[in-house]
Chain A
Amino acid sequence: MARMAIVPLSRIAHARSGDKGDASNVGLVALSAAFYEVLVREVTVERVRRHFAAICRGEVERFEVPNLLALNFLLHDALGGGGTASLLTDAQGKTHGQGMLEMEIEVPEELL
């Protein structure tokens, strides 16, 4: 068994987020093909739901974009009504990408 290290996602990926109605979209882009495999395995819908538990009140959807080494997440009901109706400071989910990168995941040490 490979030795595993626990690191924040920011060690192995980039992220950018924005809004789609009352959902936020968080795109995660791995820094290498090997790290993309880690993303696919570790950053599950369930992990993301738990990570954003205090923010996302609806479902989480995940899409794979292997050619860009990317995963795309939609966090439904995460913007307090979205757009102009929201009362939140971050009504457009601009910070959710930065938040995603704080998630701690297991990565084989040899890849780091």
Chain B
Amino acid sequence: MKTVRIANGQGFWGDSVDAPLHLIEGGPIDYLGMDYLAEVTLSIMMRQKLKNPAAGYATDFIDFIRRALPQLVEKRIRVVTNAGGLNPKACRAKIFEVARELGLQGFKVGVVEGDDLLGRLPDLLGRGHELRNMDSGEPLAPRVSQVTSANAYIGARPVAEALDGGALIVLCGRVTDTALALGPLVHEFGWAEDDWDRLAAGTICGHILECGAQATGGNFTRWWEVPELWKVGYPIAEVEASGAFVVTKHPGTGGMVTVDTVSEQLVYEMGDPKSYITPDVTADFTSIRLTQEGTDRVRVSGITGRAKTPFLKISASYLDGYKAAGQVTVSGPRAIEKARLAAEIVWKRLERAGVTFAEDDRVTELLGVSAVLPGILAAPSDPPEVVLRLAVRDGDRAKVDRFGKEIAPLVTAGPPGVTGFAGGRPKGQEVVAYWPALLAREEIERTLEVSVEAI
């Protein structure tokens, strides 16, 4: 029986740079999914592309290609990634450049385009698409001048099309994380566009894989039971044509794959479990059956799905003012009292200087005294030290910068035992906020383009 082995070597931009290499070298895999795009990463890439028309993709992916390309070509391991960002064709050109440097040829790279809607926003809004914020309900039009990127989430079909065209590497922009797995499965098994159960199975497979080690022992509640987490194996799914699959990892790696580790990943970032909506299908998480089939092998089966929705999700980002955060360490004795006094000093000095912030736009945290889980974990009454962290946000950059100048004076003009002020004055940073919306899918699907080129 044919099975397809799909691995995930990059759960987010900033994940382990060695994990994908270990997946390639540690045993057989057919496909490697790599995720580089957080919700607002495209906004950063837009800025890079405006400065340099050859930029705007995930440069870390090129570092990976430089290390991995000889093995990818030799073993015919196919890579599907969103590293193309806003400029997948420039990313492809760079990959070909690296290939020439390494003396490699005889492979193809596919590019999926059509997710970038920034230039089309005036037209879309003009034709009555309001692109209302899915959380707040506000229409986009009043903020359109602040928008820095707008992309549609693309599904698995164009990924499969690029693979059908023979691509060894498929470069996408804003494709769903789950499509990094579902695309290869549609390509391999030829699942029909309305084969909802199998499409749901491939989608849930993608969900389990998409956060890398979170399926294999990372971030696991009973962390003390996880063997050799330092060399955790990233997840691999062995998928059958029926859509059933086994989650596993390479032999000799750390971590573990159990019904518990997989269950925890299934509930991660979950909304309504009956309706996990993607561009390809609506998957039902209440249909999943998990069975421990062997050591580090969990079988996932029974999955059902329903028809896809008429809409695709849009992920836009917009500039929403500025923020800054700064911190100092305050030693004991009486660390908590001194830290509270230090915070009060900062806010009062700013107020005297005419710089005030709305209650919701300033934060005082005493790290070490139950700052992240207030009211839940008991705070120590007299810890030997605490970290005082202050943060503000405002539409006026000058106010935010002024705040940044009021932390250092605490060292000499505050209570004793204030230290650990390093890294200079915190400066105001742009807040790039996230704007989720829905758009009729035909608006996007008719402009999708897949191109496959060989070297």
Contact = CB atoms under 8 A, between A and B. Distances in A.
Size category of the B interface is 35 or more
A10 B221 contact: yes
Given A83-B39, A87-B393, A14 B376 contact: no
A88 B433 contact: no
Given A25-B269, A27-B268, A98-B373, A83 B434 contact: yes
A68 B285 contact: yes
Size category of the A interface is 35 or more
B266 interface: yes
B436 interface: yes
Chain A binding surface, main DSSP class: mixed
A85 B221 contact: no
Contacts of A80: 363
A89 B267 contact: no
Contact of A70 (B214, B267, B376, B391): B267
Given A29-B263, A83-B39, A102-B376, A67 B269 contact: no
Contact of A68 (B266, B377, B433): B266
B288 A29 contact: no
B146 to A, nearest CB: 13
A101 interface: yes
B242 interface: no
Nearest to B327: A89
B376 A68 contact: no
B221 A27 contact: no
Contacts of A72: 267, 270-271, 273
B30 interface: no
Contacts of A95: 372-373
A68 B393 contact: no
B271 A87 contact: no
A54 B389 contact: no
Given A10-B221, A87-B393, A99-B377, A68 B290 contact: yes
Contact of A29 (B264, B287, B372): B264
Contact of A25 (B135, B271, B289): B271
A21 B289 contact: no
A25 B265 CA distance: 12
Contact of B389 (A20, A52, A89, A97): A89
A52 B376 contact: yes
B127 interface: no
Nearest to B365: A89
A7 B375 CA distance: 18
A14 B375 contact: no
Interface of B: 39-40, 134-135, 214, 219-222, 260, 263-274, 285-290, 320, 323, 325, 361-363, 365, 367, 371-377, 389, 391-393, 431-434, 436
Closest 6 CB pairs of A and B: A27-B267, A54-B375, A87-B391, A14-B221, A87-B363, A99-B373
12 contacts: A16-B267, A21-B436, A27-B267, A29-B264, A52-B376, A63-B270, A63-B273, A68-B263, A68-B290, A72-B271, A83-B40, A89-B365
Interface of A: 10, 14-22, 25, 27-29, 31, 51-55, 63-70, 72, 74, 80, 82-85, 87-90, 95-99, 101-102
